Amino acid sequence: MTENFFGTDGIRGKVGSYPITPDFMLRLGWAIGHVFGKTSSGMVLIGKDTRVSGYMFESALQAGLVSSGIDVALLGPMPTPGIAYLTRTLNASGGIVISASHNPYYDNGVKFFSEFGTKLDAGLEAAISKSLEINMEIVASDKIGKVTRVNDASGRYVEFCKSCFPSELNLRGLKIALDCAHGAAYQVAPKVFAELGAEVTSIGVEPDGYNINSSVGSTRPEALSALVIESKSDLGIALDGDGDRLIMIDRNGEVVDGDEILYVIALSKLKKGTLEGGVVGTQMTNFGIEEAFKRLDVPFFRAPVGDRYVLEQLMDHKWKLGGEASGHILCLDLVSTGDAIVSSLQVLAGCLSLDKSLDQIMKGLNKFPQHIINVPYDGGFKVDPMETFSGAIREVESKIGEKGRVILRPSGTEPVIRVMVEGQDQSQVIDLAEQLAKFVENECNKTV
């Protein structure tokens, strides 16, 4: 039976632990070339974030690719959405991202884009997994692929991001605090906002190979919140390590998550008459967001957690806007995948066109108290945790009432089970989430 190495967002794990090893990446490069070579003779792009292990895996992947006869173009450190954009505009057969996104430096992984700048479909992932079982056969010497470097990659992407901001607007007079997580966007993001006219104060722009996402970035917004207050900025923008996830901070230092970002963008587009259809969220989207869209008469649909599932539902509904609370926002009228810089520009454009600050726009939104706890668990799940812990879930649901929700799910990117409780009473929500998480943790410890 063919082993499937792909999770919800490519292949990811701890560096040095199979399959995140140089020998596997060599074979993976060859397998990708073997699959892509059947349908196209074009090149494959490789970009990465700032992890020290990225150099090692870049070399292994490119060796595997060229040994299968595929040409390779290296992009260097580049945000994931930038690689998607360049894959499409440079007419490449595919794009490879070496990154573990918001994870710490000792993790790494590989994500893939099709020639259209979209994530690979399940059929291509299955074909690559199957090719990993085949013995590597190196092409003849005169068929070996060539390796080049795209020297103006970051400049191309900067110009693209700027083109996604309305030409009749600018950021002059706006003070922005920016956190690039010591990650892939550390060069391009400050340029985008500064060249649009903003006064930018940046942190997380000094990567050393080991500090990516360390106490900075979209998963650790405390540093940016403090910077917004200290610098008296109008707002803050926090990216994750590979630049596809966005969390914002209002001028009062309060966190604005992906649900709220989705609301701001939708509200702005609705006012301008450019919201095409409705909005797609996920099972984790706050119920207050759903109610807000209902009041605005905007159709709303919940997809399973994961931006690939949000994308699938957007395509099915022929809508353009969707996202997750974690900060993955899809603006399909502009990009083919989640793009933190482009999404933040849509929020900024919305604030300017509505003539309101971010916190003022948030006053029209009443979110339900929601508490999420990550329970460490590295044993894998053969069945749905919602089924495994159905009795405990029903007990919590009976206490929080009709407008409460309980969701348990294994993370697709980390060795944890996410326990989410949502309701109308904050203290009750926190208590019930902690009780349920403790129960889940105890049960999981029995199985490992």
CA 187 to chain centre: 19
Please tell me whether residue 85 adopts helix, strand or coil conformation.
helix
What is the secondary structure of 412-436 as a DSSP string?
Answer: SSSSEEEEEEE-S-HHHHHHHHHHH
Q: Which helix (H) or strand (E) holds 175?
A: strand 175-179
Burial class for 178, CB neighbours closer than 10 Å (0-12, 13-18, 19+): buried
Distance in angstroms (rounded) separating the CA atoms of residues 306 and 317: 17
Instruction: Give the integer Cα–Cα distance in Å for 261 and 241.
Output: 19
Interaxial angle between packed helices 80-89 and 153-163, expressed in degrees from 0 to 180 and rounded to the nearest 10: 90
Cβ 216 vs Cβ 241: under 8 Å:
no
Beta-carbon contacts of 344 under 8 Å, excluding residues fewer than 6 positions away, are 237, 246, 248
Please provide the distance, in angstroms rounded to a whole number, between the alpha carbons at the two ends of the chain. Answer: 25
357 carries an active-site annotation = no
Q: 201 - beta bridge partners?
A: 177
The encoded tokens of residue 232 equal 């008296």
Nearest to 101 by CA among 21, 213, 207, 201: 213
Q: Which residues contact 274 (CB under 8 A, 6 or more apart)?
A: 333
Give the burial class of 155: count Cβ atoms within 10 A of its Cβ; 0-12 exposed, 13-18 middle, 19 or more buried. exposed
Question: Which residues is 44 bridged to in the sheet?
Answer: 72, 94
Which of 53, 68, 101, 131 is labelled catalytic? 101
Q: Is the bond preceding 304 in cis, omega lying within 30 degrees of 0?
A: no
Counted residue by residue, the chain has a size of 448
- The conformational region for residue 243 under phi > 0 = left, psi -120 to 50 = alpha, else beta, is left
Tokens standing for 426? 């904050």
- CA–CA gap between residue 339 and residue 81 (Å, rounded): 5
Q: Are 447 and 387 in contact (CB under 8 A)?
A: no
Task: Tell the burial category of 7 from Cβ atoms under 10 Å away from its Cβ (0-12, 13-18, 19+).
Answer: middle
**Active site members:** 101
